[in-house]
Structure 1
Amino acid sequence: MTNSPITNRIGAVFVHVTDMPKAIQWYSELLGLPIHADSHEGTIYSLHMDGGSDLLLDSNRRDDSSQNNKTQLFFETKKLMDSYHFVKEKGIEVVTEIEEHDNISFFTFKDPDGNILMICEDKRKL
């Protein structure tokens, strides 16, 4: 194994958005976080996540034609069914219904910009 000056940890994940105020409101409500002042002249908004990596909303989206139809990231939960009902009650578009496997269960949904997100329950951590 070689030594690397790069830390083995993800510092942040970018989610590209088209309407920063709407995205801030949507993600803050989804995750139960208070809204705070933005940074980078309003083009970056950091959602501080438990466990390390922050979620960075980035309004520098330039090209909607490259919209990715794959899952961008997942949020953890210990209560998948409660999380599913919470998302549905908020009127959020569910892309895939709950899938259950031996060690994990999950479902996917879209944010207001069409980014596909996942909520995942790791049964090994329960």
Structure 2
Amino acid sequence: MDGRCPVSDLERSARWYARVLAFDPDRFSHEDTILDIPVEDGPRLALDANRPQFTADGPPRFFFWTDDLAATVEHLQGLDVRITSEVEDIGSVFFVQFEDPDGNPLMVCQRASW
């Protein structure tokens, strides 16, 4: 399963995701309209500039796992990322939501230790 995230400006979004996720944005394809973001395991993730008419509403498009949510929130704040929720605790997971430059909702989660 592949995760596609629609974006309006692929170069701007590539720079933003590269800063947030610390990777080199050199994987453009499909006549420079798609960027595959490197992931270690799990589903692939791609930024897709082929859908100019999209809405960024709804639930998070995808989420990332972290082992240290507090440090991740601090990292996002240091990059002036728009954080759209407080850290929430649902028992087994802590999470926070944030947005990319197009307003796409994203989330980062940390498993609760038992």
Q: Using structure 1 for the length normalisation, give the TM-score.
A: 0.84
Match for residue 41 of structure 1?
31
Structure showing greater Rg: 1
Q: What amino acid maps onto 1:82 in structure 2?
A: A
Larger helix share, 1 or 2: 1
**Greater than 4 Å deviation, 4+ residue runs:** none
Q: What RMSD, in angstroms, separates the aligned Cα atoms of the two structures? A: 1.5
- Structure 1 vs Structure 2: percent identity of aligned residues? 28
What is the CA distance between 1:26 and its match in structure 2? 0.7
CA distance in 1, matches of 2:88, 2:52: 33
What is the CA distance between 1:37 and its match in structure 2? 4.0
Greater RCO (Cα-Cα under 8 Å, separation 6 or more):
2
Structure 1 residues 1-12: aligned runs within 5 Å: 10=1, 12=2
CA distance in 2, matches of 1:37, 1:62: 20
CA distance in 2, matches of 1:100, 1:74: 15
Unaligned runs of 5+ residues in structure 2 are none
Match for residue 80 of structure 1?
69
Q: Say whether the 8 Å CA contact 2:99–2:106 is kept in structure 1.
A: yes
Unaligned runs of 5+ residues in structure 1 are 1-9
Q: What amino acid maps onto 2:76 in structure 1?
A: V
What is the CA distance between 1:104 and its match in structure 2? 0.4
